[in-house]
Structure 1
Amino acid sequence: MASMDKLLFENEFSGKRVLVTGGTKGGIGEAIVKRLTLAGATVITTARKTPDEMKSSDLFIQADISTPDGTTKIVTEILERFGGVDILVNNVGGSSAPTGGVLAQSDMDWQLTFETNLFAAVRLDRGLLPTMLKQGHGVIVHISSIQRRFPGENTMAYSAAKAALTNYSKALATELAPKGIRVNTVAPGFTETKSAEALMKRMAENLGTDIDGARQNLMESLGGIPIGRTARPEEVAELVAFLVSERSSYIIGAEHTIDGGIVRTI
Structure 2
Amino acid sequence: MSFLPTSAEDWEHSLNVNLLAPIRLDREFLPQMLLQKSGVIIHIASIQGRLPLYDSTLPYAAAKAGLINYSKGLSKEVSSKGIRVLTVSPGWIMTESSVRMMERIAESSNPTIEEATKSVMDALGGIPMGRPAEPEEIAEFVGFLVSPRANYLTGTEYIIDGGTIPTI
Match of 2:20 in 1: 119
TM (normalized to structure 2)?
Answer: 0.96
Contact 2:51 2:165 in 1 (8 A): no
Distance, in Å, in 1 between the alignment partners of 2:83 and 2:49 is 25
Letter in 1 for 2:91: G
Distance, in Å, in 2 between the alignment partners of 1:180 and 1:237 is 23
Match of 2:7 in 1: 106
Post-superposition offset of 1:103: 2.1
Q: Quick one: percent identity of the two aligned structures?
A: 51
Post-superposition offset of 1:206: 2.1
Match of 2:134 in 1: 232
1:136 corresponds to 2:37: yes
Post-superposition offset of 1:227: 1.2
Distance, in Å, in 2 between the alignment partners of 1:148 and 1:129 is 24
Post-superposition offset of 1:208: 1.2
Distance, in Å, in 2 between the alignment partners of 1:162 and 1:143 is 8
Letter in 2 for 1:122: I
User: 1:179 aligned to 81, 86, 99, which one?
Assistant: 81
CA offsets per residue over residues 91-149 of structure 1, 9 Å max, x none? xxxxxxxx3x2221111100000000000000010011111111110000000000112
SS in 2 for 1:104: coil
1:145 corresponds to 2:23: no
SS in 1 for 2:120: helix
Runs of 4 or more above 2 Å deviation: none
Between the two structures, name the one with larger relative contact order (CA 8 Å, sep ≥ 6): 2
Structure with the largest fraction of helix: 2
TM (normalized to structure 1)?
Answer: 0.62
SS in 2 for 1:256: strand
Post-superposition offset of 1:230: 1.4
Post-superposition offset of 1:153: 2.2
Letter in 1 for 2:9: M
CA offsets per residue over residues 16-44 of structure 1, 9 Å max, x none? xxxxxxxxxxxxxxxxxxxxxxxxxxxxx
Match of 2:166 in 1: 264
CA offsets per residue over residues 143-197 of structure 1, 9 Å max, x none? 0000112222221100000000000000000100010000000011111001111
Q: Superposition RMSD on alpha carbons, in Å?
A: 0.9
Structure 1 segments unaligned to the other structure (5+ residues): 1-98
Which has the higher Rg, Structure 1 or Structure 2? 1
Contact 2:88 2:157 in 1 (8 A): yes
Contact 2:91 2:164 in 1 (8 A): yes
Distance, in Å, in 2 between the alignment partners of 1:179 and 1:111 is 33
Post-superposition offset of 1:223: 1.4
> Number of residues paired by the alignment?
167
Match of 1:253 in 2: 155
Letter in 2 for 1:246: P
Counterparts of 1:4-153 in structure 2, within 5 Å, are 99=1, 101-151=2-52, 152-153=54-55
